[in-house]
Amino acid sequence: MDRILSGLEPERVFYYFEEISQIPRPSGRCKMISDYVVNFAKDHNLEYVQDSLGNVLVRKPSNREDDNRPVVILQGHMDMVCEKNYDYEAKHDFTRDGLKLQLLDDYIYAKGTTLGADDGIAVAYMLSILEDDSLDIPEIEALFTVDEEDGMKGALAFDTSVLKGKLLINLDHEISGELLTCSAGGKRVKCTVPVRYKKVSGVGYSIIVCGLCGGHSGMEIDKGRGNANLLLGRLLHTITKNMDYSLKYIGGGLTDSAIPREAKAEIIIDSKDIDTLENVVEKYSAIICGEFEGIEDNMMIYAENKGEDTAMCLDSESKRHIGFLLNTIPDGIIKMSRKNEGLVRTSLNSGIMQLSDNEFVLIVNMRSLAESEKEALADKIEYLAEMAGGTISEEYDYPAWEFHEESNLRRTAFEVYQKMFGHNPRLRGFHAGLECGVFYKRIEGVDIISFGPDITNIHTPKERLSISSAKKVYEYLIEILKTI
């Protein structure tokens, strides 16, 4: 293949980043990337373990025979969030096609899709370190996990008893110059509301909310961005207050870990209400665009006349139940931290909504630094679902990584950063969930830090990886390993 990243430094890091960018690796479909890591281990005569889910542990011994330095666990995930622009390459299949990497100044991006630098750059870092026999570093246990973006299923299922190390460096952060000290726990629940249909005739309309920024439902939840699913629900309620309509279809969002960028409803109305509908949508669009001025400057909300239509639509009770849920469910920041200024403590994202022949589904992602608040929020969602005639089911639940005052690993990383760059790194908590929480709970006495290079707009097709930052962080990682 033509190598877009040829000539970038560190050469082997970007070599492997480009290699894995050609391997489809959506959450739940990680066999190819897992097997790639296994074959890498075989080619380099390294000990490895591949479990039934596809997690891979690769061990690299120290090149010192009498090395008594502690074993270090390097950890990152192999899967990626798969988002693409709907107006570009509709045929791109994340289960089959590689990414089309591009360069722009100091950045790497993928044409029309997410880049997968979250957490592909960690995979590239670890492969490069495992390959390099010249490094004077301790024994390494490189843990490549699957399905982090789908409830951390790989980490939760991994048998941590096979690990020897008690020092863990997670490489799944997206702001250089920061050392993470704790992260939120998370829970995903599926709200299911049964529905019934009736045949309706009239004029069909598509109601569309699009052009939103979206982004990571943990890292970007404090940006005040719009949730396309809930904005559409609010618009449908506004229409209800002005006229009658029948709901044929509603859907939006692709993953619970991303703030929904687009949502769509298909409705049928009486021909006499055409002007009313179009006026309501136009006024609503102006109001919402005003509310999000300076945040969602590319947002579009519009109604498109599809002509005469006869179809099965939801009955009035089903439509009312869906409207109730979409207009009462909490959204975004629920509580800020009292101890750490600017840190979100608890949040909620309604990431996916789907309508089928017999049910409406809303998939909700809750995050919190406090287990009690996460559970209280889940209880609230359960009550709302019951009021809408539905139920909830838990799809995953992972723990928080709690802050500890004493951390030798953090102290080492802090001092190395000072020495290399002449100033202090920023220590901060993190509202997004990290696999650190799973390992914190399951590896007794583990000492954890997390850091990474600059990656912007993750979980969106605007994702960008800074080349210079990736180089800086790799050199920093190597120096930490040498210093331990």
Q: Where are the domains of the chain?
A: 11-173+434-483, 188-398
φ, ψ of residue 281 in degrees (nearest 5): -65, -40
Average pLDDT rounded to a whole number, residues 466-480: 98
Percent of the chain with pLDDT over 70: 99
Cα within 13 Å of Cα(359), Cβ side: 13
The answer, yes or no, to whether residue 132 has pLDDT greater than 60, is yes
Average pLDDT rounded to a whole number, residues 410-420: 98
The answer, yes or no, to whether residue 353 has pLDDT greater than 70, is yes
Q: Tell me the pLDDT tens digit for each residue of 284-322.
A: 999 999 999 999 999 999 999 999 999 999 999 999 999
The reported pLDDT for the residue numbered 433 is 87
Q: Give residue 25's identity as a one-letter amino acid code.
A: R
The reported pLDDT for the residue numbered 88 is 53
The answer, yes or no, to whether residue 450 has pLDDT greater than 80, is yes
* Top mean-pLDDT range of 49-53, 181-185, 425-429: 49-53
Spatial distance between the Cα atoms of 236 and 79, rounded to a whole number of angstroms: 35
Joined tokens for residue 445: 């006495």
Before 118, cis peptide (omega within 30)?
no
Active site residue: 19, 118, 147, 148, which one? Answer: 148
Q: Give residue 422's identity as a one-letter amino acid code.
A: G
The reported pLDDT for the residue numbered 404 is 87
The answer, yes or no, to whether residue 91 has pLDDT greater than 80, is no
pLDDT-derived band at 219 (thresholds 50, 70, 90) equals confident
Q: Tell me the pLDDT tens digit for each residue of 182-202.
A: 999 999 999 999 999 999 999
Average pLDDT rounded to a whole number, residues 74-87: 89
Going from the C-alpha of 140 to that of each of 321, 417, 453, the distances in angstroms are 54, 21, 21
Round the average pLDDT of the chain to a whole number and report it. 95
- pTM across the whole model: 0.81
Q: Give residue 209's identity as a one-letter amino acid code.
A: V
Any idea which residue has 């969030």 for tokens? 81
148 is an active site residue: yes
pLDDT-derived band at 254 (thresholds 50, 70, 90) equals confident
Spatial distance between the Cα atoms of 322 and 237, rounded to a whole number of angstroms: 10
Report the 10 Å Cβ neighbour count for 33.
24
Active site residue: 18, 19, 79, 435, which one? Answer: 79
Q: Give residue 454's identity as a one-letter amino acid code.
A: D
Fold for the domain defined by 11-173+434-483: Aminopeptidase (3.40.630)
Average pLDDT rounded to a whole number, residues 418-431: 95
Going from the C-alpha of 304 to that of each of 239, 278, 297, the distances in angstroms are 15, 9, 21
Percent of the chain with pLDDT over 90: 89
Beta strands 464-466 and 455-456, pairing class: antiparallel
Domain 188-398 has CATH 1.10.260.40: no
The reported pLDDT for the residue numbered 86 is 65
Joined tokens for residue 158: 């991994």
Joined tokens for residue 319: 């439509």
- Are the folds of 11-173+434-483 and 188-398 the same? no
Least confident of 253-257, 302-306, 480-484: 253-257
The reported pLDDT for the residue numbered 137 is 97
CA proximity to 55, closest of 159, 161, 134: 159
Average pLDDT rounded to a whole number, residues 206-224: 94
pLDDT-derived band at 447 (thresholds 50, 70, 90) equals very high
Torsion sign over Cα 387, 393, 396, 401: positive
The answer, yes or no, to whether residue 430 has pLDDT greater than 90, is no
386: left (phi over 0), alpha (psi -120 to 50) or beta: alpha
The answer, yes or no, to whether residue 92 has pLDDT greater than 80, is yes
Report the 10 Å Cβ neighbour count for 162.
12
Joined tokens for residue 72: 């270090």
Spatial distance between the Cα atoms of 31 and 33, rounded to a whole number of angstroms: 6
pLDDT-derived band at 87 (thresholds 50, 70, 90) equals low
Going from the C-alpha of 70 to that of each of 3, 372, 416, the distances in angstroms are 38, 35, 17
The reported pLDDT for the residue numbered 480 is 98
357 is an active site residue: no
- Burial (CB < 10 A; 0-12, 13-18, 19+), residue 171, is buried
Query: Residue 116 in contact with residue 16, Cβ under 8 Å?
Result: no
Q: Long-range contacts for 38-45 (Cβ within 8 Å, ≥24 apart)?
A: 40/127, 40/130, 40/131, 41/130, 44/130, 44/131
The answer, yes or no, to whether residue 41 has pLDDT greater than 70, is yes
Name residues whose C-beta falls within 8 Å of residue 327's C-beta, 6 or more positions apart in sequence.
Answer: 230, 233, 234, 237
3-state SS, residue 372: helix
